[in-house]
Amino acid sequence: MSQAKDTLLRLFALLRLIPTEPQRIATPTLLDKLRDRGFSVTLRSVQRDLNRLSTPFSLQCVDSEIPFRWSFTPDAPLKLEDMDASTALALYLSESHLNTVLPQTVLNQLAPQFRRARNFLGKLGHNGLADWARRVRAIPNGKTLLPAAVNTVAISYLLASVDGYGILRQFALHRIQQIRILDEPSVLHDIFDVDDYIDSGIFSQRENNLSVELVVDVHPQIAVLLSETPLRHEQTLSDIPSHTWKRLRAQVPLDRETLWWIFGLNDNIRVYGPQVWVDEISDRLNSMQNLYTSTDRDMSCRIAVENYG
């Protein structure tokens, strides 16, 4: 390797080892890390490199203590510091989740960072954060379905009005096959706020904009789960006399998502309110009973006929 190329690689390696303020790294530590990476350098050469790089790369030196300590300023124009363990772990654990929520173009740009994170953790050996990545997994609480097959170029939804109407509609961009650009200016919704739009319950199939008091008895295991991951911040879990179950009270939106959550608990929950959900649950249970009863009756008749024949 030529001397000029070796020097350039050493300078890049040096810059990647320097953290951003308030973190700092001592000059002898930089020397040891460079030698670990195969560079044949002296403490004097490292000091000379740091002084040469300090102005163009906004490096700062704390010379009030020996040995000197170096860092990037918070507003440094270019930061080449190596990935730290916390950042690598965060990227590693978030990759599988982000693959389903970010556009493919963004994922393509993040791919090198994800790869760096995996490689970084893989080289740490017996390190607490590396062990966390190897041993810890996050799994969803409940049944998850496979994502729909969509065009990877666009997986977002557009909120817009059509033909001059003021009502906003949701358009799945991955289902739009053709577009035509018009010369007319678009009409903007000046008072529109996307967070307010989501909070209105438009995506959660609310039956109205009112909150209701959910009053239920839950199985002890469900009570433990709800104490760790509450349904709402203001929920309460209280003892039931002479019973191991718990009484849950919480103000919740009158939406289908909460009702589906209740149905998913099966016989681990007993609902007392709101009454509209009690009635619907009762109707559903009757329908299911009739469905399975009629199915068993029809099957018995069919078997009897076959046997007679």
In sequence order, the β-bridge partners of residue 215 are 249, 273
Q: In this structure, what token pair is assigned to residue 114?
A: 């994800």
- The CATH number of whichever domain residue 232 belongs to comes to 3.30.70
Q: Tell me, what's the pLDDT at 283?
A: 92
Whether 60 maps to a domain, the answer reads yes
Contacts of 236 (CB under 8 A, 6+ apart): 248, 249, 250
Final residue belonging to a domain, choices 50, 72, 94: 72
SS3 271: strand
Query: For the stretch 28-54, what's the b/e string if a residue is b when 16 or more beta carbons lie within 10 angstroms of its beta carbon?
Result: eebbebbeeeebebeeeebbebbeebe
Are both 42 and 129 inside the same structural domain? no
pLDDT tens digits along 247-265: 999 998 888 888 888 998 9
pLDDT bucket at 298, cuts 50 / 70 / 90: low
- The CATH number of whichever domain residue 57 belongs to comes to 1.10.10.10
Whether 159 maps to a domain, the answer reads yes
Whether 30 maps to a domain, the answer reads yes
Q: How far is CA 21 from CA 29, 70, 74, 85, in A?
A: 17, 9, 6, 17
Which range of residues forms the domain containing residue 19?
3-72
Give the total residue count for the chain: 309
Nearest alpha carbon to residue 218 among 190, 194, 259, 246:
246
Q: In this structure, what token pair is assigned to residue 292?
A: 């399975």
Whether 278 maps to a domain, the answer reads yes
Whether 239 maps to a domain, the answer reads yes
Whether 19 maps to a domain, the answer reads yes
Whether 301 maps to a domain, the answer reads no
pLDDT tens digits along 59-102: 888 888 888 999 888 877 766 666 667 777 787 878 877 776 67
Residue type at 235?
Q
116 vs 103 pLDDT, higher one: 116
Mean pLDDT, the chain, whole residue set: 79
Are both 40 and 110 inside the same structural domain? no
Please give the tally of structural domains in the chain. 3
Q: In this structure, what token pair is assigned to residue 117?
A: 């994170």
Q: In this structure, what token pair is assigned to residue 298?
A: 């029809």
Kindly state the average pLDDT of the residues 279-283: 92
Contacts of 147 (CB under 8 A, 6+ apart): 100
Are both 88 and 185 inside the same structural domain? yes
Are both 56 and 88 inside the same structural domain? no
Are both 50 and 97 inside the same structural domain? no
The model carries a pTM of: 0.45
Are both 213 and 268 inside the same structural domain? yes
Are both 63 and 91 inside the same structural domain? no
Whether 296 maps to a domain, the answer reads no
